[in-house]
Amino acid sequence: MSLTPEARAYLDAFKATGTPMESVSPEQARALVAPLKSRKEAVSEIRDIWIPGPEGELSALVYTPLIHEDREDLLPTIVFFHGGGWVVGSPKSHDGMCRRLCNAMEAIVISVDYRLAPENKYPAAAEDCYAATVWASKFIENFNGDPSRLIVCGDSAGGNLAAVVALMARDRGDPAIAAQVLLYPITDHNYDTGSYRDNGKGYFLTTETMKWFWNHYLESPEQGKEPYASPLQADLKGLPPAIVLTAEYDPLRDEGHAYASKLQAAGVTVRRVACLGQVHGFLRRLDLFPAAAGGTLIGVCKQTREMLGWPAVEWTGDSV
pLDDT tens string 243-258: 999 999 999 999 999 9
Give domain status of residue 300, yes or no. yes
For residue 38, indicate whether it is catalytic.
no
Question: In sequence order, which residues have a C-beta less than 8 Å from that of residue 46 and are 6 or more positions away?
Answer: 61, 62, 63, 64
CATH number, domain with residue 264: 3.40.50.1820
Domain count, the chain: 1
Please give the pLDDT value at position 160: 99
Measure the CA–CA gap between 157 and 61, rounded to whole angstroms.
19
59 annotated active-site: no
Show the domain range for 170.
Answer: 5-307
Residue 318 included in any domain: no
Q: Are strands 108-112 and 145-155 parallel, antiparallel or unpaired?
A: unpaired
CA nearest neighbour of 77 among 162, 141, 128, 171: 141
Exactly one of 137, 250, 254, 257 is catalytic; name it. 250
pLDDT of residue 165: 99
Q: Is residue 132 part of a domain?
A: yes
* 94 is an active site residue: no
Neighbours of 17 (CB within 10 A): 7
Q: Give a yes or no: residue 158 inside a domain.
A: yes
Distance of alpha carbon 135 from alpha carbon 112, whole angstroms: 11
Catalytic: which of 94, 189, 216, 280?
280
- pLDDT score recorded for residue 35: 80
Amino acid 255: pLDDT: 98
Classify residue 29 by its DSSP letter: H
Among 156, 195, 216, 230, the active-site one is 156
Give domain status of residue 102, yes or no: yes
According to DSSP, the residues that pair with 58 across neighbouring strands are: 51
Is residue 315 one of the residues assigned to a domain?
no
- Cα(40)–Cα(38) distance, integer angstroms: 6
Residue 76 lies in a domain: yes
Sites in the chain below the pLDDT cut of 70: 68-72, 293, 317-320
Q: What are phi and psi of 274, to 5 degrees?
A: -100, 115
Q: What are phi and psi of 11, to 5 degrees?
A: -65, -40
Determine the pLDDT at residue 319.
46
Residue 313 domain-assigned? no
